[in-house]
Structure 1
Amino acid sequence: MRYRRSSAPGATFFFTLVLADRSSGLLLRHIGALRSAVRVTALHHPFHIDAAVVLPDHLHMLWTLPAGDADYATRWMLVKAAFSRALPRDETIDASRARKGERGVWQRRYWEHLVRDDDDYARHVDYIHFNPVKHGLVARVVDWPHSSFHRYVEQGVLPADWAGGSTMIEGGFGE
């Protein structure tokens, strides 16, 4: 089955990627490998990370692609492959993946959403930054270290006490 993906050169997209084993915590245990995979991919296939959060079992990112370029699928394939190659081969692999020579690190598919306007962009940035609180990992957004929230605070875009532990952000956005 072929999945239809949005195609808008130079656009901004929201993504959710999830580990195959949601109980593994691989993303945080190997956060350096994930950062490296993203950095190396961006060197060869540029994109701008507008916002990001990494949780134990999934991540959300908001990317803006270069003008004339809509190929986020190749970028995610490269990120997922580089991260997977950096890990020990100790995950459980089902028969379907084994036949295809795949690792069992990531869920095969991911959620993508073409950001439509400034309000949509702002909602997704807020969702990304509030996600660790939503999942009960911290009481305050500022307490989660693996988030672009800290860059937003450093740049004066958001105050450090933004969303102060309330549950003001609603919505599912790909989960």
Structure 2
Amino acid sequence: MVRYRRNLLPGGTFFFTVAVENRQSSVLTDHIGALRAAFRAVREKKSFVVDAIVILPDHLHVIMTLPIDDCDFPDRWRQIKSQFTRSVAIAGGPISRNHRGEYALWQRRYWEHTIRDENDFERCANYIHFNPVKHGHVSSPSDWPYSSLHRYVRAGLLPTDWGGAGEIDGNFGERAD
């Protein structure tokens, strides 16, 4: 059995990729209100800051910072996924059940990366904001409505046309295979 080792760093800032089981699904954007409500509800119980986020139809990317004395991001993700799943199920959303009778909306695991420094943060935030273009949903990051890019633009951190007109190649340190 593979044992996953998480870097449980109190007060850490982490980059996450969380995906639904059916990668052809659009459940996240179809139920965006329920996803936002799940994030809000969990944040009220167990504080965290969403530094950057993009929500695509079948997966999402988040940079999250935890309180200085807390390292429990696994429980936060469990609660967010569970709350969203219940909301979608109640709304009659497209959720199947696995062989144990559990709802099978999310992939069981998620990818996590500990942000090391400001350059790493910027690279990950850029990756997040450019991701809708990478997946062919829009031609410019500012055209995607479910992104913290809009918050960055309002705060003056990025220009309105950031990532448009082909000036960014979309390679933010990924392997090219």
**Paired position in structure 1 for 2:13:** 12
What is the CA distance between 1:5 and its match in structure 2?
0.5
1:92 aligns with 2:93: no
The offset of 1:165, in angstroms, is 4.1
Q: Does 1:82 align with 2:86?
A: no
Cα distance in 2, alignment partners of residues 44 and 168 from structure 1: 39
- Count of aligned pairs: 169
Structure-2 separation of matches of 1:135 and 1:46: 31
SS in 1 for 2:50: strand
Deviations for 1:86-126, whole angstroms, at most 9, x for unmatched residues?
A: 0136423232xxx2x42110000000000011110000000
Task: Give 5+ residue unaligned stretches, structure 2.
Answer: none
In the alignment, the residues of structure 2 paired with residue 76 and residue 139 of structure 1 have an alpha-carbon distance, to the nearest angstrom, of 30
Asked if the contact 1:18–1:107 (Cα under 8 Å) also holds between the matched residues in 2, the reply is yes
SS at match of 1:132: helix
1:105 equivalent in alignment to 2:105: yes
TM-score norm. by structure 1 comes to 0.92
Greater CA drift, 164-173 or 109-118: 164-173
Shift of 1:168: 2.2
Residues 93 and 45 (structure 1), Cα distance of their counterparts in 2 relative to 1, 3 Å cut: same
Question: For residues 17 and 73 of structure 1, what CA distance do their matches in structure 2 show?
Answer: 12
What whole-Å deviation, never above 9, does each CA across 1:147-174 have from its counterpart, x for those lacking one? 000000000000001111424221449x
Change (3 A) 1:165 1:38: farther
Counterpart in the other structure of 1:38? 39
4+ aligned runs moved over 4 Å, structure 1: none
For residues 44 and 123 of structure 1, do their structure 2 counterparts lie closer, same or farther at Cα, with a shift above 3 Å needed?
same
Which letter maps to 1:112?
A: E
Corresponding residue for residue 129 of structure 1: 129
Instruction: Provide Cα deviations, 1:128-150, integer angstroms capped at 9, x if missing partner.
Output: 00000000100001100000000
Match of 1:154 in 2: 154
- The whole-number CA distance in structure 2 between the counterparts of 1:127 and 1:21 is 23
Kept after mapping to 2: 8 A contact 1:50/1:62: yes
Q: 1:65 maps to what in 2?
A: 66
C-alpha RMSD over aligned residues: 1.4
Structure 2: distance between partners of 1:164 and 1:62 = 22
Partner amino acid, structure 1, of 2:122: A
